[in-house]
Every structure is written in C-alpha cells, then in structure tokens.
Amino acid sequence: MSQPRFGVLLANLGTPDAPTPAAVRRYLAEFLWDERVVDVSRPLWWLILHGVILRVRPGRVARNYAAVWQAEGSPLLAIGRRQQRALAERLAECFGETIPVELAMTYGNPSMERAGQALRDAGVSRILVLPLFPQYSRSTTAAVFDRLARALKPCPHLPELRFVNSYHDHPAYIEALAASVREHWASHGGERGRLLMSYHGIPRRYAESGDPYPQQCAATSRALAEALDLADDAWLMSYQSRFGREEWLRPYTDETLQAWGGEGVEHVDVISPAFAADCLETLEELEVENRDNFLGAGGRVYRYIPALNDRADHIALFAQLVEQHSRGW
C-alpha cells in the first residue's frame, strides 16, 4: 500500500466519556487545570479546583449532559465523528486518493495519542492540524497546540506538521453561516427576529494581554451581517459561558437577552459562530437557559440556529482549508 501524501487531525475541545458525575469530574479536572484555560497561581487554583469546583459542579453539569446525550455519545463527539467521516470522503474526491482523517480532543477522548497512533498506523508522516475553532484564542486553539506537542514528545521521529491558526473570515465559512441563517428564516416562512451572534467568552484580561479573539469575533460578525445585508440595529454580538468572578468580554449573552425581553423585543434568532459543532454550551445553555432568560423577561419568540455541524457547505470549507494549507505536500 502506498504511503498517504499526508493526514488530517481534526481537533476540538473535549467531552466527558459519560453523563455521570464521576466522568464529568475527570473531564473538568483535566480541562480546568490547563493554564491556557485558567492561569491562576497553581497552588491557589488547586485548592479552589479540588476543594470547591470539583465537589460542586460535576453533579449539575452531568445532569445537563444527560439532557442532551445521544446514542453515539455526547453531541460534540457524535457530530465530530460525522465531520471526520464526511471530510475523509470529500478529500478522497478532491485529491483522488485516500487522505486519512482522525479526530482528537484537547481534553478527554479520543486523545491526541490515540489519533496520532492511528495516523502513524496509516503510514502518515505529515500531519495537517485543523482545530475546529474558527476564531483563535489562547484557551482553545493554542491549547490544541500544547496538547499535541505533549502527545508527540515521546516520539523519536516527529511528523512534519502544519497548523491552521484560524478561519474566522474565510469566505466559505462566512457563506456557510449566512446560508444556515437564510435557511432558518425560510423554514419559518421568512419571519426574521433580531439576530444575536453569541460567542464563547474569555476573561477580558486575556484580550488585554494580546489574545486576538474579540477582534476575530467582531470580524466574523461584521462579515456575516454584510452577507445577510443586515441593518446595524438588526443584529448584535455577545459572549456567553463566563466562569468565575472576574470580568469577561462584554456584552454578556444572558444579560443581553434579558434586557431585550424587558425592552419589548419580541423575537430573536440566536446563532453561535464560535462553535463548529453543537455541544452543551449551545444545546443546553443557548437553547434552554437563554431561551428562559428571554421569554421570562417578556420576549415572545426565541429560536436557536444550529451550528454548522456536518452540513455539506461546512465540510466543503474544511476541504478548502486542507487543500490550501497542504500545498506543496
């Protein structure tokens, strides 16, 4: 069998192995210990994490996971596997040969080690790493780089690597987002609400220290609004999923929706361009919690627009990124 020209490693954040407190505790212990995610002094943070957070949060988070769990596992993993298979099929068509594609999580399973071994077993000596985070952040994209480096550290012969840093303003990404919004509107008879583009938040001080995430989120939002020909008062971007007591990027999604409901905004459509696959933060936090925030404050219609997941145009974007970043291989 001939050696593949290269392989692709799709990387996402991670998921517990089961919707149980024990599995969630293991996952959170790994995720929240990463200094890319929480950079508090290690001794102090160890006490907070193990003395408080891992005693309190796993039970509640496990219940939330149980509400969205699928037969194939967590939504993030199930969708990731579909993305992996669809991209492999698309690349075979584009390149006229088999390009191995593996899925790995920064935290939890499938691990970087497992994915790397699968690529090695397929004869891969060049790896294109595609983190499934459209907008770069130290807490997501950079964490993938760190985790992969740790997985590769024992290898005596390192593969040649290329790394996709972000694709926040890629034309195919913006058009796929716009198409999903147009299809959503069409499926509801053309009815449009005010569009809220909700991104996962990060602490404000991360941005102040040089993380380009808010600028890239803003660029995505402007490009999407232009593609949809939206007036300035027809949309807004916000940040969700804040954690802890310090200041995070504003405006906050939950506070925005509560304010809109109280101000007489009757209908909102919500999309989260930061997520390449639906997960707990979209299916539970956006679809359930923030729906309650808006309707409870006086809103009338709240609709969540799903992530791009394994849509054909999303997979086509991945294939374009692979083709562009693998030139010369």
Q: Which residues are annotated as a binding site for Fe(2+)?
A: 200, 281
Q: 19 in helix, strand or coil?
A: coil
Contact indicator for 161, 127 with CB cutoff of 8 Å = yes
- Binding-site residues sit at 200, 281
Query: DSSP H helical segments within the chain, as ranges?
Result: 21-31, 42-48, 54-68, 75-95, 112-121, 141-152, 171-187, 204-208, 213-227, 253-263, 280, 290-296, 312-325
Distance CA 51, CA 7 (A): 42
CA-nearest of 127, 106, 11, 16 to 61 is: 16
Distance CA 270, CA 193 (A): 9
In single-letter form, the type of residue at position 107 comes to Y
DSSP 33-99: T-TTT--S-HHHHHHHIIIIIHHHHHHHHHHHHHHH-BTTBSHHHHHHHHHHHHHHHHHHHHHSS--
Backbone angles phi, psi at 243, to 5 degrees: -140, 135
